[in-house]
Structure 1
Amino acid sequence: MRILLMSIAALSLAGLLSAGVAAHADDDGDDTDGHTLDAAQEAVSRGTIKPFAELREIVRQRFKGDIVRVEPRRKHGRFLYKFKVLSPEGQLVEIEMDAASGTILEVENE
């Protein structure tokens, strides 16, 4: 069972990295540099945050355009994703999402 959960988490993270999206960990003081992705993978395996593929689908359904960048973050112990979407009109839209609930917290340049 543990191997299955680890595989699911690895596939979720692999989906993030292979989706043609640039990803990097952002340190907001809660994580040491480079540990956000590892911590996110562990949180997915524990079921405390949603898999990246599910979060990406929420963004794709609500916003037209191409996801050009994703920044996983930990802020005050909370996992967030910042999606950058290039709209068909050429405008860059930034979406901040709670990784546990999939709730969109903030949208800039909509």
Structure 2
Amino acid sequence: MKMRNVIALLIILPCLASGALVPVSAADDDADTANQDWHDLHKEVKAGHLVPMTTIMDWLEARFEGQILEVELEQDHGHGSIEYEVEMIGPQGQVVEFEFDATTGELLSIEGVNIEAMKKTP
């Protein structure tokens, strides 16, 4: 069974790598947990265990047209893998999801429609 620790970021760029981001929409009961999640995530990036989100964003910006809608960090406790899922909207309104290994930055998969139209020419 895939257990998910999800942190949703809406159109957020370097804040993840800098640790400057604090969730503002968390309910009071969840605020302490959410803040701890952010601090733990920042520590993992700073320690070099996770690729900074800015690295993923730079890679996407260099290769694809569009805007980031959402970023999720998912952890599969059964397999120990951690992934970034990045959802982008392309210039024609298409939504595409990119999955990256959060520990290496490797692109794992791309899903969506009209992906070719989002690719930048070298």
- Say yes or no: TM over 0.5: yes
Which of structures 1 and 2 has the larger relative contact order (alpha carbons within 8 angstroms, sep 6+)?
2
Q: What is the 5 A alignment of 1:77-88?
A: 77-88=80-91
Deviation of the 1:71 alpha carbon: 0.8
The CA distance in 1 between the partners of 2:72 and 2:47, in whole Å, is 21
**Identical aligned pairs, as a percentage?**
30
Map 1:5-84 → 2, pairs under 5 A: 11-14=17-20, 17=21, 34=34, 36-76=37-77, 77-84=80-87
Alignment: residue pair count: 87
| Counterpart code for 1:79 | I
Deviation at 1:37, TM superposition (A): 3.7
Could you tell me which runs of 5 or more consecutive residues in structure 1 were left unpaired when the two chains were aligned. Answer: 1-8, 19-23, 25-32
Q: CA deviation at 1:66?
A: 0.4
1:40 aligned counterpart, secondary structure = helix
Q: 1:9-64, CA deviations, whole angstroms, 9 ceiling, x for partnerless residues?
A: 975343xx49xxxxx9xxxxxxxx74654432221121111111112111222221
Q: In the alignment, is the contact (CA less than 8 A) between 1:12 and 1:53 conserved in 2?
A: no
Q: Which has the higher helix share?
A: 1
Query: Structure 1 residues 52 and 65, CA, compared in 2 at 3 Å: closer, same or farther?
Result: same
Q: Which runs of 5+ in 2 are unaligned?
A: 1-14, 27-32, 116-122
Distance in 2 between the 1:60 and 1:101 partners? 18
**Structure with the bigger percentage of strand:** 1
TM-score, normalised with respect to structure 1:
0.65
2:103 alignment counterpart: 100
